[in-house]
Amino acid sequence: MGIDPGDLLRQRGLRVTAQRLAVLRAVSDEPHVTADAVAETVRGEIGSISVQAVYDALAVLTEKSVLRRVQPAGSPARYEGRVGDNHHHLICRTCDRMVDVDCAVGDTPCLTAVDDFGYEIDEAEVIYWGRCPTCVAATSVSKGTVREEKERRD
Ligand SMILES: [Zn+2]
Ligand SMILES: [Zn+2]
Ligand SMILES: [Zn+2]
């Protein structure tokens, strides 16, 4: 995140608490993490914090643009500390691995809609779905095996 997490919170007018710092740390250690995984990590550090308190912290941090919430269709929301640049995501349909990908052309061109209908646009939600290299490789290996078995039978 580059900037001191405490400063980041103060800049956004948020009180610095151990809970919020722990939530920030969990997300910056593992970008695109789900709320449940954040709760697990934070509760490992601060035993006394409730799951609800972690969810509340995530909600506040997202609302104040300290964190960005990504909500892929049909899968749980994920959180990341890379905010404000309107980058997009690639998601593997097989293993759910999510990676960052910059706008296709130069600087956030997706924010320039063909017609904005007078709306003030601040985010374009672009998610590329597909299969990651690991999963593609795994499938072609198993296909190869099936073919070999068939050949042996023939
Ligand atoms: Zn995959
Ligand atoms: Zn991202
Ligand atoms: Zn874009």
Ligand 2 mean position to 89 CA, how many Å? Answer: 6
Residue 148: predicted pLDDT: 52
Residue 81: predicted pLDDT: 94
33 within 8 A of 79, measured Cβ to Cβ: yes
Ligand 3 mean position to 22 CA, how many Å? Answer: 31
34 within 8 A of 78, measured Cβ to Cβ: yes
Give the span between the Cα atoms of 120 and 86, in whole angstroms: 14
Q: What is the pLDDT of residues 3-41, one digit of tens each?
A: 899 999 999 999 999 999 999 999 999 999 999 999 999
Give how far Cα 107 sits from Cα of 84, 98, 154, Å.
12, 21, 56
Average confidence (pLDDT) over 85-103: 92
Ligand closest to CA 97? 1
Ligand 3 mean position to 85 CA, how many Å? Answer: 10
Q: What is the pLDDT of residues 59-90, one digit of tens each?
A: 999 999 999 999 998 889 999 999 988 899 99
The pocket of ion ligand 1, defined by CB under 5 A, consists of: 92, 94-95, 97, 132, 135
Ligand 1 mean position to 136 CA, how many Å? Answer: 7
Ligand 3 mean position to 64 CA, how many Å? Answer: 22
Ligand 3 mean position to 45 CA, how many Å? Answer: 37
- At residue 151 the predicted structure's pLDDT band, cuts being 50, 70 and 90, is low
Supply the pTM of this predicted model. Answer: 0.80
Ligand 1 mean position to 114 CA, how many Å? Answer: 33
- pLDDT above 90 (res 107): no
Average confidence (pLDDT) over 120-149: 80
Q: What is the pLDDT of residues 38-53, one digit of tens each?
A: 999 999 999 889 999 9
- pLDDT above 80 (res 141): no
Ligand closest to CA 72? 2
- pLDDT above 90 (res 106): no
DSSP 8-class letter at 111: G
- At residue 113 the predicted structure's pLDDT band, cuts being 50, 70 and 90, is confident
Residue 1: predicted pLDDT: 46
